[in-house]
Amino acid sequence: MKAIVLAAGSGTRMKSNLPKCMHKILGRTLLNTVLSALREAKIEEIIVITGYGGERLRSSVSMDVKFAHQAEQKGTGHAVSMASEFLNEDEDILVLCGDTPLVTAETLQKLAETHAREGNAITVVSARIDNPFGYGRIIRPATDGQFLRIVEHKDLEEGQELVNEINTSVYMFNGKALLDALPLIEPHNAAGEYYLPDALEIIQSNGLKAGVLLAPDSGEFVGVNNRAQLFQAAEGLKKRINEKHMMNGVTIIDPSSAWISHDVTIGADTVIYPGVILENTRVGENCVIGPNTRIIGSDISDFAEIDNSVVLDSSVGEYTTVGPFAYLRPHSRVGARCKVGDFVEVKNTTLGDGTKASHLTYIGDSDVGGGVNFGCGTVTVNYDGKKKFRTVIEDNAFIGCNTNLIAPVTVKEGAYIAAGSTITDDVPEKALSIARARQVNKEGWIKK
């Protein structure tokens, strides 16, 4: 079985320079979200039909697919014909749109099973909705209620607008039936386009069987044509993802305000507070992710607590606390039982187990051992205006408040730096380093 994903539209109602299928929900493009469902449904060969912004759209695809280009948008039937060279007569072809991010692998698998079991040449997925305005309708004869044809909204005849069973634009074709029908589609409609649903009547006229799979959840087939619908799709996906985590033992205090992307794993007994954003991240068991925290591309170990902080492309060890108002920038590795406190920024740095920086500190481009204490106001001065240099701080060193460490510099194991020092040379093991001017009081200076 192969799949064709229609993603050629410009999405004019999005009011954007981006191709419509490049817009994102929960950190992933609409197209990549659909492709992920196809992969989950075990469909290996996928052909994406591009059009407007084709090169940009291709570059945004995160998996191995084939591409065909529709230079001029002449309708869905014309779009599918662009993939003809990839199709074979002896295989089934799934066709769906790249702007339906809520479609599930389970529904696609059920479609394939129904198509095979009933021996259909074409099977259409339908759904019943309260407001079918704008959708093509599934028209059934009054006598037996079997599937007859699809009529696009702009071509509805009198009375057909009351039909609430819609075409979801998800189809399964027999390969030969599709290839035979595509050249016979004519633009006999109000828009002058080649509609893929017209293939249904052509296939039926050849004496082949057409069927319908009525989907129980119409919400899977919500299309995205504007920013409001993009938000609605994101809300639906967010609800689905959050419910999955809660069923797996995660406490999400306010699911309406927790934005968790598809590629996040969370261990049992972890608590997620309101306002949390998680993308491409693993969170362990028994963690607390405090309010207004954003974690992207990171690994958070068991029993860690992150509060009102930002963590980007970094890792946090067991029983470590981060925040409030801390910032872990990319390539930071914080060990177990550490503390990265309020208004502490860590960048491209390793902190060993048990190291603490409780407040108002910048640690950049540094290799820090275990058991190190950073006093308030410490800065690793890593940039001389042209190049960046690293600071090395060995185990159990004590860095006094308001210390500047001018890289490249090494503070040896167990060394102690007096508060207010500016360190430009290496500090020996277990030494006390004082690098500040002696205090001088000028009597009567203010009066003068």
| CATH number of the domain where residue 49 is located | 3.90.550.10
Same domain? For 297 and 166 the reply is no
Same domain? For 405 and 381 the reply is yes
Encoded amino acid at 346, one letter: V
Same domain? For 250 and 275 the reply is yes
Same domain? For 249 and 142 the reply is no
Report angle CA 398, 403, 405 to the nearest 5 degrees: 90
Domain of 404: which CATH number? 2.160.10.10
- Known catalytic residues are 359
Instruction: For residues 257 and 59, give the distance between their C-alpha atoms in angstroms, rounded to a whole number.
Output: 31
Encoded amino acid at 57, one letter: L
Within a domain: 444: no
The reported pLDDT for the residue numbered 83 is 96
Grouping H, G, I as helix, E, B as strand and the rest as coil, residue 299 is strand
Beta-carbon contacts of 335 under 8 Å, excluding residues fewer than 6 positions away, are 317, 320, 350, 351, 352, 353, 354, 355, 370
Same domain? For 88 and 217 the reply is yes
In the listed set 189, 221, 253, which residue is the last one of a domain according to the structure?
A: 221
Same domain? For 194 and 318 the reply is no
The reported pLDDT for the residue numbered 139 is 87
Within a domain: 342: yes
Give CA separation, 332 vs 91, 119, 340, 347, in Å: 49, 57, 12, 6
Which two tokens mark 150?
């699809």
In the listed set 221, 245, 279, which residue is the last one of a domain according to the structure?
A: 221
The model carries a pTM of: 0.88
Same domain? For 260 and 143 the reply is no
Grouping H, G, I as helix, E, B as strand and the rest as coil, residue 218 is helix
Which 8-state DSSP code applies to residue 439? P
Within a domain: 440: no
- Asked if 324 and 308 count as a contact pair (C-beta separation under 8 A), the reply is yes
* Number of helices and strands in the chain (H, E): 7, 39
pLDDT tens-digit profile, the chain (448 residues): 899 999 998 889 999 999 999 999 999 999 999 999 999 999 989 999 999 999 999 999 989 999 999 999 899 999 999 999 999 999 999 999 999 999 999 999 999 999 999 999 999 999 999 888 888 899 887 666 577 788 888 888 888 888 999 999 999 999 999 999 999 999 877 778 898 988 998 999 999 999 999 999 999 998 899 999 999 999 999 999 999 999 999 999 999 999 999 999 999 999 999 999 999 999 999 999 999 999 999 999 999 999 999 999 999 999 999 999 999 999 999 999 999 999 999 999 999 999 999 999 999 999 999 999 999 999 999 999 999 999 999 999 999 999 999 999 999 999 999 999 999 999 999 999 999 988 899 999 999 9
Within a domain: 79: yes
Domains contained in the chain, number: 2
Same domain? For 258 and 372 the reply is yes
Same domain? For 178 and 243 the reply is no
Within a domain: 439: no
Report angle CA 192, 197, 202 to the nearest 5 degrees: 100
Which two tokens mark 405?
């460490």
Sheet holding 366-368, edge to edge: 265-266, 282-283, 299-300, 315-316, 333-334, 350-351, 366-368, 391-393, 409-411
Same domain? For 217 and 249 the reply is no
Q: Facing residues of 432 across strands? A: 416
In the listed set 174, 203, 221, which residue is the last one of a domain according to the structure?
A: 221
Within a domain: 448: no
Same domain? For 210 and 232 the reply is no
Domain range for 242 is: 227-433
Task: Quickly tell me which residue has 């039937």 as its tokens.
Answer: 77
CB atoms within 10 A of CB 97: 25
Within a domain: 406: yes
Within a domain: 175: yes
Instruction: For residues 84 and 157, give the distance between their C-alpha atoms in angstroms, rounded to a whole number.
Output: 33
Beta-carbon contacts of 359 under 8 Å, excluding residues fewer than 6 positions away, are 341, 342, 343, 344, 376
Same domain? For 187 and 319 the reply is no
For 89, phi and psi rounded to 5 degrees?
Answer: -70, -25
Instruction: For residues 410 and 406, give the distance between their C-alpha atoms in angstroms, rounded to a whole number.
Output: 10
Residue from 261, 242, 234, 277 nearest 25 by CA: 234
